[in-house]
């Protein structure tokens, strides 16, 4: 599977992020807690340099809690704070202000020494498509300023968003990197919807998801689809799921497209339970 998805607006966004970095005090990078490594844009380290950063592991309700804690410990350092959040419900977002205060302690002390009381921190929000940036911004601003959608590529232009807690957010469109080298990364991004389904072979993608889940989360597949046993062959398991869900067309053939769409939707919606596809 070879994916090279780098539309022109993403190249432009990369340049804008680099140019606008001087306007902000810190960066909030949002990743998917289920695929913490794959949902990291490797360009972000290079672009952001030593700028203070908070990494939010979004959709942490859909990942295994113990593995998310391992990621938080692994990624944290002197210049980076990490937290698990749910940008839809707002869980964990109250912890952002204290994290920011900790990271920008020296700046705040300098400003207070000058008699400045109402300190505004300006923060750039970055992340790959469909990772939850707009949901995060809307929750922080408590209104629907940023467009949201369950398909990548919804956010387009830069905008500043004010919050009531002394933080101004600079929104940026989601960007992927020019070439996705690892097939595992490609699949993880596609499983979670960061890459448009329209450019994927949806049936091949669902088959690969079954192949992955039958190794690490066999019990979830069996429970969700009421299977007595799993085969070593992912296609056999897809057939079993199709039959259990009545995705059968004339002649008893499995409707693979219907099974594929259903499986991916249920995985992305957390109906198979908390699943982490990557570990630190």
The domain containing residue 231 runs over which residues? 201-268
Task: Assess whether 13 and 141 both reside in one domain.
Answer: yes
What is the structure's pLDDT at 152? 47
Neighbours of 9 (CB within 10 A): 16
To the question of whether residue 133 is assigned a binding role by annotation, the answer is yes
Residues 264, 149 share a domain: no
> Does residue 157 sit in the same domain as residue 218?
no
Residue 59 is labelled as binding a ligand: yes
84 is in an annotated binding site: no
Res 79: pLDDT? 94
**Number of structural domains, the chain?**
2
The pLDDT of residue 241 is 98
* Same structural domain, 233 and 135: no
Was 273 annotated as part of a binding site?
A: no
pLDDT at position 160: 82
The pLDDT value recorded for residue 80 is 96
Looking at the domain assignment, is residue 139 inside a domain? Answer: yes
- The answer as to whether 23 is a domain residue is yes
271 annotated ligand binder: no
Report mean pLDDT in 10-residue bins for the chain, 280 residues: 56 80 95 96 85 97 97 96 96 96 94 92 90 91 59 52 92 70 88 87 96 96 97 97 94 95 96 96
Last residue of a domain, one of 151, 171, 191: 171
Rg of the chain over Cα atoms, rounded to whole angstroms, equals 21
Whether 119 and 221 map to the same domain: the answer is: no
CATH number of the CATH domain containing 240? 1.10.1580.10
Residue 221 inside a domain? The answer is: yes
Does any domain span residue 181?
no
Helix (H, G, I), strand (E, B) or coil at 121: strand
User: Does residue 261 share a domain with residue 138?
Assistant: no
Q: Are 237 and 115 within one domain?
A: no
Query: CB neighbours of 40 closer than 8 A, spacing ≥ 6?
Result: 29, 31
Q: Is 60 annotated as a binding residue?
A: yes
- Residue 260 annotated as part of some ligand binding site: no
Same domain, 114 and 220: no
Q: What is the pLDDT of residue 275?
A: 97
Q: Is 135 annotated as a binding residue?
A: yes
pLDDT at 9: 63
Q: How many Å separate Cα 113 from the centre of its chain?
A: 39
Same domain, 48 and 126: yes
State whether 32 and 105 are in the same domain. yes
Q: Where are the beta strands (DSSP E) in the chain?
A: 26-32, 53-58, 80-84, 121-127, 159-162, 167-171
Claim to verify: residue 110 and residue 155 sit in the same structural domain: yes
Is 148 in contact with 135 (CB distance < 8 Å)?
Answer: yes
In this predicted structure, what is the pLDDT of residue 13? 72
pLDDT of residue 194: 85
CB 96 within 8 Å of CB 28: yes
What per-residue confidence (pLDDT) applies to 4?
Answer: 52
Question: Do the annotations mark residue 130 as ligand-binding?
Answer: yes
Q: Do 48 and 154 reside in the same domain of the chain?
A: yes
């Amino acid at each position: 599977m070879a994916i090279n998805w780098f539309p022109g607006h993403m190249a432009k966004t990369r340049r804008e992020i680099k140019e606008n970095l001087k306007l902000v005090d810190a960066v909030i990078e949002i990743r998917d807690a289920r695929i913490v490594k794959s949902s990291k844009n490797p360009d972000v380290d290079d672009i952001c340099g030593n700028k203070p950063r908070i990494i939010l592991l979004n959709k942490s309700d859909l990942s295994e809690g113990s593995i998310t804690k391992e990621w938080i410990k692994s990624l944290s350092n002197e210049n980076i704070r990490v937290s698990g959040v749910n940008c839809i419900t707002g869980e964990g977002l109250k912890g952002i202000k204290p994290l920011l205060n900790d990271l920008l302690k020296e700046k705040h002390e300098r400003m207070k020494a000058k008699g400045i009381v109402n300190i505004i921190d300006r923060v750039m929000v970055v992340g790959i498509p469909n990772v939850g940036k707009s949901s995060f911004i809307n929750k922080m601003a408590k209104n629907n300023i940023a467009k949201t959608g369950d398909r990548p590529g919804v956010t387009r232009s830069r905008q500043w968003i004010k919050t009531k807690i002394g933080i101004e957010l600079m929104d940026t469109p989601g960007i992927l990197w020019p070439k996705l080298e690892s097939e595992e990364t490609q699949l993880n991004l596609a499983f979670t919807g960061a890459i448009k389904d329209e450019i994927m072979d949806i049936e091949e993608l669902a088959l690969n998801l079954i192949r992955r889940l039958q190794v690490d989360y066999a019990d979830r597949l069996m429970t969700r689809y009421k299977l007595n046993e799993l085969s070593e062959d992912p296609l056999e398991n897809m057939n079993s799921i199709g039959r259990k869900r009545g995705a059968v067309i004339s002649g008893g053939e499995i409707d693979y497209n219907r099974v594929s769409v259903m499986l991916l939707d249920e995985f992305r919606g957390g109906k198979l339970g908390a699943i982490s596809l990557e570990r630190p």
